Structure formats: C-alpha cells, structure tokens
C-alpha cells in the first residue's frame, strides 16, 4: 500500500484496542435494550427454525484515519484533492484489531460454529451467520418475537434486548437484526396518486438555445422532462462522451423493478438518441428485476429514466437488492431480515469497480434506526466516498415530520419512551458522508415544492460537520429567538445539502405515460448532472468528484441558484423557512450546470 500522508499511524490506533483475549467465556451482560417502538405490537413468536442472518459488527479502530483521508481528498483547497483510495487501502483502514477478531472467533467456536459457517466482509469488520432464530436466542441470551406495524401490517422478527459475554462488549459494536425496526420507504409523494395517467400527446418542453436560461419552455411549469431540467439547470449545450470513465448507478429496493420497455418508450419521447440502449442490471442478495409490464415499479422507473436520460451516454447500472418480505408465521424459508442498505453497501464495497455517482430514493425516520447501526451504515458510505464515489440520497417528502402525509396530523414523538414532541429527521440523509437532495417546483422562479414538503432539518445522531458549520450556524442564528426550541438539535448535521425539481415528472409506467413527484425524483435528477460533471472532469484529464459536500459548501456555492421561497411544514408547525443562503428545505439551492462545470474543471 502506498504511503498515506497523515499524522496518524496504524500502530498507534491499533494499540487503543489492545485488550487481552480471555481464556474462557465470561458472564452475559446486556449489550443493548430499547423500548418497544411506537406503532409496533407483538403478534406472536417465530418458529424456532425460522432462519435469520445475524450481522455482528466489530469495532473499526482506525475509522478516524479513514475520515481524515476522506476530508483531505474531498477538499478542493487541499493538495490531495481527488487522490482517492483503493479498495485495499480502505479495507486496511477499517479492519478490526486482531484481539477483536480472536475474541469473537473464540466465542463463536465455543458456541459450536465451524469456521466454514462464519462469513466475513472483505475487511473482516462484519461477521455474518445464517442460523435458526432459536440458535440466535441462545448466543444472544434473548427472545425474538414477531412484531407487527399497526399502520401498514408489515411484520418483522425482532427483539428489544440482547446480551453478550461481558468480555466481548469492547470487541463487538452491535448485532443486528435485533433492535432495528426501521421501515425503508420510497421517497415519492403520498399526497396524491403516485401515477397520474396523461394523454400520450400531451405537449412536452422543446429544447431552447443554449444561454437562454430565462426562456425555459413554459410547459415546464406543469410537466418536467429531461429537456426541462437541462434548460432550467443550464446544461443544454453540453454533450457527454461515451468514451470517458464516467458512470452512474441507481439503487432499487422493496421489489421495485425497472422496466426496459418503459425505458425505451421514455427514450423515444424524451431522449431519442438513447433508443435501443439500456443499463447494466446487478442483483444483490437475490434481488430481481422482473420485466412483466404489470410489475414495473413507479419508483424504479422514475429513477432510471431520469438519471440515465439526463446523463446519456454515460453508462448506467441498476441494482436490485432483495427486500424484506412480510414475515409469514408458518414459513420455514430464509427471509431477508436485515436492513437492505447494509446488504447493498457490503456488496458494493466488495467490488473493485463501482459506478462513480449513485442515487438512492429511500429512507427511514432516523429514530427508527438504532444509533449504533446508523453510524455503522454511515461509516460504510464514508468508505465509498474515500474510493471516489458520490452518494446522493433524497431528503424525504414530509417536511419536518414523520411519514404521515398530512402535516397537521403527524405524530412527531420520540421513540425513547419519553414521548417528547420532536421534529423527525430522515436517515440516511442525515449521514454527513452523503449528499442529501431536497425538492423544488415551478420555473422563474423555482420555489420549495408544496404539493408535498421537502424533508429537511437536523440530525439527532450526527453532529454538524465542519464543511457546513458556517452555513448552518448562519441559518440558525437568523431564526426568531426561541423558535422551535427543543424540537430540533441545533448541533446536528443539517439536511438537505442541495435541491432539484421534485414534482410533475413525466415518466412511463406499465406502458403508459404519467406524472409522479417526490424528492425521489430530485435525487436521481441531480445525480444525472453530477455524472455529467464527472464526464467533464475526465475530458479535462482530472479525477472524479467523489464525496461532494466539502466542494459544494466552499467553491461550489457559486454554482447554485439560491431558492428564496417556501417552507417544509410538519408536526403541526409551519416547519423551517427557505431563506437566502443554505436552509434545511432546499439546501444551497439548485444546480447551474454551466457554472459548476467551470468550477470543477479548474485545476485545484
């Protein structure tokens, strides 16, 4: 491995976990315990032979070194800007201390597991065991139940407490699935029917000459197309190359299938030069991409059609990660009981070549994800950033509230048993190592989207990162004194970071055209323009952008159009207001591709 320019050394970091491995298994002590989350009720016990995959997370003693690398190589003012790490270098930096590996191995061997039954991530920071739930109860000194979500009917096999031998507490950060009750949802608007059928002959925006930003086709006020976005964001005169190294990917979950026939109909209408091209499909954990028109997914179709339509001919990849099917009490087959984010990121981290821009339009209420688990997933995203990948997530559609579409009736209470009224931030958008994308609507001027409300606010888990401290502090200090006191974390990571159009997108679904909205549209659209920026950097013989935020909050600010109108109501409040500069509704604003291209192709 090449010498890394840091003041930290691997030896010093390893010594922090130099704990002797005991010769015998110590008594069990509770490792984690939670109160039953709101909205979930016990509905039975799983069959003893119901199979689950336990994920055991070992500490990453050198993560602070990786984080330092990430910020250096993502800072356009640093001499190492763009000097991304290799897969092997990242794995070396997140590898557990040998004592942790030995302690966990001894525990599992003593519990009767053979070496071939124990699977590990490439860096050995995760141990995976697929075992009957009865065996999981034995080794975790716990009891699993079937828990049913009263509003949706979804069911999970979970526990509210588990234990580990006391000597392992310093060698194991977390074990899941145990206390993880998150319900990953697509971030498309639930306020209206997600697909509104239209006449196939509905007028679409026409391309306007480059440099005439004020002359965006008026039809873009009612229907958003690829042409509208390129006009609005000053990209009509840019043509990508199919010979550079730029690439883009879309994640799919929950049995959302991206239909190729619909993509061809979309291309014929909005991107005829892309006709007869498609995307690379990759299955994760057995994920499918069924091509029957009736099984086409609105979310998946929206994401691939606009991300790939904007970035064409940049090659695209669509991942389908097997979801969490509803638990059926009498089933004896293996169910995917893990949170799919980590399944996906584990798979991607194991690959040598990864698309350089990846958009995800799914998320959970932050409080439904145990903090230790959220931090580990977020740390995995940092690993991708260190390898030169730009990760974008939609910010959510319910303003400052929970998943209830009506902001006046949202139940915004904490899940910690105190039932305190709080705004509900959205994970993974709250992770400081990703770029969160909010929603706008209309043209000349753009405003914060109002048919649903752009998710935004402040994390309760992650502190404000250095790259946005000045912007967040300026916004909070300008709020009326005492406004929303106690409802949000003033020291939290603010989101979203940026915004893009988020409503009235014209897609094709099951053979028909129609409209759809949500920040699930904003993120793939923004990702398409990032893929074009990478294309421009490659043409200039530069490296990919990688983790975007340090650039966006510094030199990149000049490449955004500030949004000055709107808010994101929720929890019975008006929510946060849009204001000059960064705000927790539309972030820094919407992209001006022409200006951003000039900024990112300068030699830093």
Question: Is 411 strand, coil or helix?
Answer: coil
Nearest CA to 95 out of 131, 125, 64 is that of: 125
pLDDT at 587 over 80: yes
* 399-to-448, 496, 546 alpha-carbon distances in Å: 11, 11, 28
> Is 343 considered catalytic here?
no
Question: Is 447 strand, coil or helix?
Answer: strand
Residue 204 confidence (pLDDT): 67
Annotated binding residue 99: no
> Is 155 considered catalytic here?
no
pLDDT at 188 over 70: no
Range name among 86-90, 192-196, 385-389 with the lowest pLDDT average: 192-196
Arithmetic mean of pLDDT, 453-467: 97
Arithmetic mean of pLDDT, 184-191: 56
CB 499 within 8 A of CB 522: yes
Annotated binding residue 562: yes
Arithmetic mean of pLDDT, 250-278: 95
How many distinct helices (H) and strands (E) make up the chain? Answer: 14, 27
Annotated binding residue 581: yes
Q: Residue 90: phi, psi to the nearest 5?
A: -65, -45
* 337-to-155, 255, 320 alpha-carbon distances in Å: 10, 15, 16
Distance CA 219, CA 228 (A): 8
CA atoms within 13 Å, Cβ hemisphere of 369: 32
**Residue carrying structure tokens 């689950």:** 52
Annotated binding residue 583: yes
* 40-86 pLDDT, tens digit each: 899 999 999 998 889 999 999 999 999 999 999 999 999 999 999 99
Nearest CA to 161 out of 321, 397, 370 is that of: 370
The DSSP string of 265-324 is HHHHHH-GGGTT---EEEEETT------GGGB-HHHHHHHHHHHHHHTTS-EEEEEE---
Q: Kindly indicate the confidence band of residue 156, based on its pLDDT and cuts at 50, 70 and 90.
A: confident
Range name among 146-160, 381-395, 454-468, 529-543 with the lowest pLDDT average: 146-160
Cβ density class 219-242: b for 16+ within 10 Å, e for less: bbeebbbbbbbbbbbbbbebebee
pLDDT at 494 over 70: yes
The DSSP string of 351-410 is -SS--SEEEE-EEEEGGGS-HHHHHHHHHHHHHHHHTT-EEEEE--SBTTS-S-S-TTS-
Confidence (pTM) = 0.91
Mean pLDDT of the chain: 88
Residue 595 confidence (pLDDT): 98
Task: Please tell me which residue in 32, 72, 91, 299 is annotated as part of the active site.
Answer: 299
* 602-to-539, 555, 556 alpha-carbon distances in Å: 12, 11, 12
Range name among 178-192, 283-297, 302-316 with the lowest pLDDT average: 178-192
Task: Please tell me which residue in 121, 311, 520, 523 is annotated as part of the active site.
Answer: 520
* 320-365 pLDDT, tens digit each: 988 654 455 544 344 445 567 788 888 999 999 999 999 999 888 8
Between 479 and 20, whose confidence is greater? Answer: 479
Q: Which two tokens stand for residue 503?
A: 């409503």
Neighbours of 133 (CB within 10 A): 22
* 236-259 pLDDT, tens digit each: 999 998 888 999 999 988 778 999
Residue 399 confidence (pLDDT): 93
Residue 384 confidence (pLDDT): 97
> Is 520 considered catalytic here?
yes
Task: Please tell me which residue in 303, 346, 365, 535 is annotated as part of the active site.
Answer: 303
């Amino acid at each position: 491995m090449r010498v890394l320019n840091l003041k930290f050394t691997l030896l010093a970091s390893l010594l922090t976990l130099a704990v002797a491995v005991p010769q015998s298994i110590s008594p069990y002590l509770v490792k984690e315990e939670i109160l039953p989350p709101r909205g979930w009720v016990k509905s039975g016990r799983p069959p003893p032979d119901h199979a689950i995959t336990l994920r055991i997370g070992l500490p990453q003693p050198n993560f602070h070194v990786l984080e330092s690398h990430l910020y250096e190589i993502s800072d356009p003012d640093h001499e190492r800007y763009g000097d991304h790490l290799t897969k092997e270098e990242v794995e070396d930096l997140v590898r557990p201390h040998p004592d942790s590996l030995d302690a966990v191995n001894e525990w599992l061997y003593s519990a009767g597991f053979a070496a071939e039954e124990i699977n590990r991530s490439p860096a050995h920071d995760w141990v995976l065991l697929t075992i009957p739930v009865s065996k999981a109860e034995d080794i975790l000194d716990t009891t699993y139940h079937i828990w049913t979500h009263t509003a949706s009917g979804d069911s999970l096999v979970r526990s509210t407490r588990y234990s580990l031998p006391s000597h392992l507490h310093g060698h194991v950060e977390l074990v899941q699935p145990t206390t993880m009750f998150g319900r990953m949802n697509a971030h498309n608007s639930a306020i209206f029917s997600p697909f509104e059928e239209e006449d196939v002959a509905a007028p679409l925006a026409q391309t306007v000459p480059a440099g005439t930003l004020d002359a965006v086709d008026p039809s873009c006020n009612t229907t958003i197309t690829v042409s509208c976005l390129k006009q609005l964001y000053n990209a009509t005169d840019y043509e990508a190359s199919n010979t550079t190294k730029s690439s883009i990917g879309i994640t799919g979950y929950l049995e959302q299938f991206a239909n190729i026939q619909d993509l061809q109909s979309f291309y014929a209408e909005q991107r005829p030069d892309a006709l007869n091209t498609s995307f690379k499909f990759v299955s994760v954990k057995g994920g499918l991409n069924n091509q029957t028109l009736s099984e086409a997914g609105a979310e998946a179709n929206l994401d691939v059609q606009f991300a790939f339509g904007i970035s064409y001919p940049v090659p695209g990849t669509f991942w389908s990660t097997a979801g969490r099917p509803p638990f059926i009490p009498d089933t004896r087959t293996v169910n995917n009981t893990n949170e799919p984010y980590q399944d996906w990121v584990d798979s991607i981290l194991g690959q040598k070549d990864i698309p350089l821009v990846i958009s995800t339009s799914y998320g959970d209420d932050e409080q439904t994800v145990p903090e230790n688990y959220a931090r580990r997933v977020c740390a995995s995203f940092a690993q991708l950033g260190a390898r030169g990948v730009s990760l974008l997530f939609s910010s959510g559609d319910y303003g400052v509230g929970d998943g209830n579409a009506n902001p006046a009736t949202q139940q915004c209470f904490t899940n910690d048993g105190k039932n305190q009224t709080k705004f509900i931030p959205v994970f993974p958008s709250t992770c400081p190592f990703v770029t969160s994308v909010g929603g706008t609507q209309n043209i000349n001027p753009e405003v914060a989207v109002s048919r649903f409300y752009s998710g935004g606010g402040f994390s309760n888990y992650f502190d404000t990162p250095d790259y946005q401290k000045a912007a967040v502090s300026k916004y909070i200090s300008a709020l009326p004194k005492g406004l929303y006191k106690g409802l949000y974390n003033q020291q939290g990571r603010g989101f979203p970071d940026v915004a893009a159009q988020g409503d009235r997108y014209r897609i094709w679904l099951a053979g028909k055209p129609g409209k759809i909205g949500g920040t699930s549209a904003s993120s793939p659209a923004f990702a398409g323009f990032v893929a074009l920026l990478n294309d421009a950097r490659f043409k200039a013989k530069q490296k990919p952008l990688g983790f975007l935020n340090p650039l966006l909050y510094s030199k990149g600010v000049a490449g955004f159009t500030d949004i000055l109108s709107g808010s994101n109501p929720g929890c019975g409040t008006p929510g946060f207001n849009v204001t000059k500069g960064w705000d927790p509704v539309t972030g820094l604003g919407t992209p001006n591709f022409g200006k951003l291209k000039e900024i990112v192709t300068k030699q830093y």
